Chain A
Amino acid sequence: MSEDRRTQVFEELFATHYWAVRGFVLRRALSSVADDVVAETFLVAWRRLDSVGDDPLPWLMGVARRLLANQHRTERRRGALLDRLASLAGPGPSWEPPARMSSPLAAAMMSLSEREREALLLVAWEGLDSGRAAQVVGCSPAAFRVRLHRARRRVADALENESNPSPHPSIAEEAS
């Protein structure tokens, strides 16, 4: 690929996907970190333009996801003392629900595993279908669909239980 063509391809890639990738990162990181991660993501794309493929968005999100994981690890190592204190205080949430999310939905999402939660959010927030979301997380579409289905069902069941709580069992029922 010539230098001009390479620049043209990158410009198109950047113009088409920058805001989607930025949104993806901002939903998962503080804004002070997000700009660096987005920039790093597109730098990786610039240097590996030949391997981006025909559907760049899942590829870019996959790169951003790995950079966020590295970022998280670096921060965690830096804050070893804080981690030690946090571990003494008990487990903390690994994911913060957004303020606009209702309490029952937030509680249901918090009860999911990280993988299940990620599956739902890739579909609901990023608008990806199962095939593209599977590319982001690096699993087969079939495995992703099963993961998504189970996550959705767990959340739906939790919300249903929230709206229709089962009556407390009587002592007689418990004894039986």
Chain B
Amino acid sequence: MTPHDPVIAALAKANPIDPAAQPGPRERAEADAIRRRILSASPRPRLRATTLVPVLSSVVVVAVIAVFLGVGGTRHRPAPAAPGPAGPLILQALPTVRTTTITPAAMARELHIVRERLGTVPGGPHAALAGADRIRVNLGRDVSPAERERIVALITQSAQLYFYDWEADALTPNGRTVASQLVVQNRSAMAISQGASAGPGSPGDGSVPIYTAVRIASRQPVAPFSPTQSRLGPQYYLFGRPGSAACVTAAATGHTAATVGDYCLLSGPIDEPNGTSRARAIADLDAALPAGVTTAQAAAQGVVLDVPQGTVVVQAANPGASQQIPYDSGAARFYVLKDNAALTGADITKPTESTDQSGAPDVRFGFTPAGTAKFQSVTAQVARRGANVSLGGETLNQHFAVVLGGLESRLITVPSIDFKQYPEGVIQSAGNSGADITGGMTATSAKDLATQLRYGALPLDLRPAG
């Protein structure tokens, strides 16, 4: 995005403070006074706040400077002990690819889910419809801007959870499913199915760099719409050729980690609705290029690939809680799946953050009646395949995969189903209801995931209205 972009140019024209304006004598004198006052201050804070988070340490500094400057202007005083009510939060509902029309029924369901989610927020916030396509939330108390932002995120994040039959849906570089090549013990299929030292779904054997994954995915046929798909329409990526100036520039500005000898991700992924022209998609990719990479460079040194509807590229699971690998890191590795989810976030209930028996953070949830049946069905299918491919005394347990959907989909975990213990799949009962998912989570990321799962079933997108 450049200053020549019409939106940026129009905004720049409306800049209330001209960046090129020269300061007058009064402003210069004020600046000089500020500089002298600061240089006369102790270079050490008066309160030790090294263990506080930055925002809190700023509060401390605000309090200190208000005393020592001793000049006119705003003074910072302690907040009143009794918090007052906050202004209401207005949320605008927007259609999604799945719920294309905002109907009263969709809004009623949306409101119900928003109220459920707000149940975790202290202070008794209340949500109500405010017109045909808006929801008004009264928080009922004063909240800081940061907490308000967190509450908005809590309500509006729309990431979904998807369960896949791992071996039936994962593709090897030849574009065929892992399950179809296990009997002949294809090397790639075996690596994806059984993993190496780090287990299936990890950034180890069987996973590939993002360009390779997208290239494999781009060769898959377009699948017709199905409710089991995690996304609709094509997904576009723009890569720079290995060693190109575009890749060097992107790496130099810290936007995309350079991978020696491999294509670098310059822009994307971007989801486009079905029917979008390739030219429009490329224009959208160009609009999100890293600083310093021109559209001319991207055109000359770039490769645009699209993943058709029916196939997804997912990042490998984080190897551990302390090893979070960013999506655009050169170290990130990926898998390609047929987008044929056995369960979605709509099939699970009451996700909560918890800890497993070893004390590691995890997320627990239950299943809806439909989800219970689907979960048993997919785990039974996985178990039967495990029994079928385990020949000659060799046990090849099979797996299902849990994926956090969204623009940058990521594997959460790829658990195995012991076909000897669960030959009929995992059957839910009163004493065995729901499931736990673990996999490289911190307490915070487990809480975030539980939150995101709770919002997975929102029929409409929500975002704050001005």
A141 is contacted by which of B142, B146, B149, B290 (Cβ under 8 Å)? Answer: B290
Chain A, 133-164, contact with B by CB distance < 8 Å: what is the 0/1 string? 00000001110011011001101100100000
Of residues 4 through 35 on chain A, the ones whose CB sits less than 8 Å from some CB of chain B are 6-7, 10-11, 14, 18-20, 22-23, 26-27, 32-33, 35
A77 is contacted by which of B1, B58, B84 (Cβ under 8 Å)? Answer: B84
Inter-chain CA distance A159–B15, complex, in Å, is 18
Inter-chain CA distance A121–B45, complex, in Å, is 32
Instruction: Decide if A77 touches B142 in the complex (CB within 8 Å).
Output: yes
Inter-chain CA distance A94–B149, complex, in Å, is 13
Of residues 65 through 119 on chain A, the ones whose CB sits less than 8 Å from some CB of chain B are 66-67, 69-78, 80-81, 83-84, 86-87, 90-95, 97-102, 105, 109-114
Q: Which residue of chain B has its CB nearest to the CB of A79?
A: B84
Instruction: Decide if B74 touches A71 in the complex (CB within 8 Å).
Output: yes
Q: Which residue of chain A has its CB nearest to the CB of B252?
A: A131
For the complex, is B145 an interface residue (Cβ under 8 Å from A)?
yes
Indicate the member of B14, B27, B41, B284 with the most A CB atoms within 10 Å.
B14
Instruction: Decide if A94 touches B255 in the complex (CB within 8 Å).
Output: no
Given A39-B38, A127-B19: A77 touches B80 (CB 8 Å cut-off): yes
B466 is contacted by which of A66, A86, A111 (Cβ under 8 Å)? Answer: A111
Chain B, 1-26, contact with A by CB distance < 8 Å: what is the 0/1 string? 10101111111111111010001000
Instruction: Decide if A140 touches B326 in the complex (CB within 8 Å).
Output: yes
Question: What residues of chain B lie closer than 8 Å to A83, measured between beta carbons?
Answer: 84-87, 142
For the complex, is B287 an interface residue (Cβ under 8 Å from A)?
yes
Give the total number of A-B pairs whose CB atoms are below 8 A apart. Answer: 221
Binds A, one of B61-69, B102-110, B189-197: B61-69
Inter-chain CA distance A55–B464, complex, in Å, is 33
Instruction: Decide if B291 touches A80 in the complex (CB within 8 Å).
Output: no
Question: What residues of chain B lie closer than 8 Å to A71, measured between beta carbons?
Answer: 62, 74, 76
For the complex, is B288 an interface residue (Cβ under 8 Å from A)?
yes
Question: What residues of chain A lie closer than 8 Å to B39, measured between beta carbons?
Answer: 7, 10-11, 46
- Nearest-Cβ distance from residue B370 to partner chain A, whole angstroms: 32
Please count how many residues in chain B sit with their CB below 8 Å of the partner chain's CB atoms: 80
Q: Which residue of chain B has its CB nearest to the CB of A51?
A: B54
A129 is contacted by which of B12, B45, B77, B292 (Cβ under 8 Å)? Answer: B292
Instruction: Decide if A38 touches B34 in the complex (CB within 8 Å).
Output: yes
For the complex, is B328 an interface residue (Cβ under 8 Å from A)?
yes
Chain B residues with CB under 8 Å of chain A are 1, 3, 5-17, 19, 23, 27, 30-31, 34-35, 37-39, 41, 43-45, 54-55, 58-59, 61-62, 65-66, 69, 73-74, 76-77, 79-80, 83-88, 90, 92, 136, 138, 142, 144-146, 149, 152, 253-256, 267, 270, 284, 287-288, 290-292, 326-328, 407, 463-466
Chain A residues with CB under 8 Å of chain B are 6-7, 10-11, 14, 18-20, 22-23, 26-27, 32-33, 35-36, 38-40, 42-44, 46-47, 49, 63, 66-67, 69-78, 80-81, 83-84, 86-87, 90-95, 97-102, 105, 109-114, 120-121, 123-125, 127, 129-131, 140-142, 145-146, 148-149, 152-153, 155-156, 159
* Further 18 A-B residue pairs, CB within 8 A, beyond A70-B62, A120-B11: A7-B39, A33-B74, A35-B73, A36-B65, A63-B58, A67-B58, A74-B77, A81-B84, A86-B87, A102-B14, A111-B92, A112-B466, A124-B12, A131-B290, A142-B328, A152-B5, A152-B7, A152-B287
24 residue pairs of the A-B complex, CB under 8 angstroms, read A10-B39, A39-B34, A44-B58, A47-B45, A66-B54, A70-B58, A70-B59, A73-B79, A77-B83, A81-B84, A87-B87, A93-B466, A113-B464, A120-B7, A121-B11, A127-B19, A129-B253, A129-B291, A131-B290, A145-B288, A149-B287, A153-B284, A155-B7, A156-B7
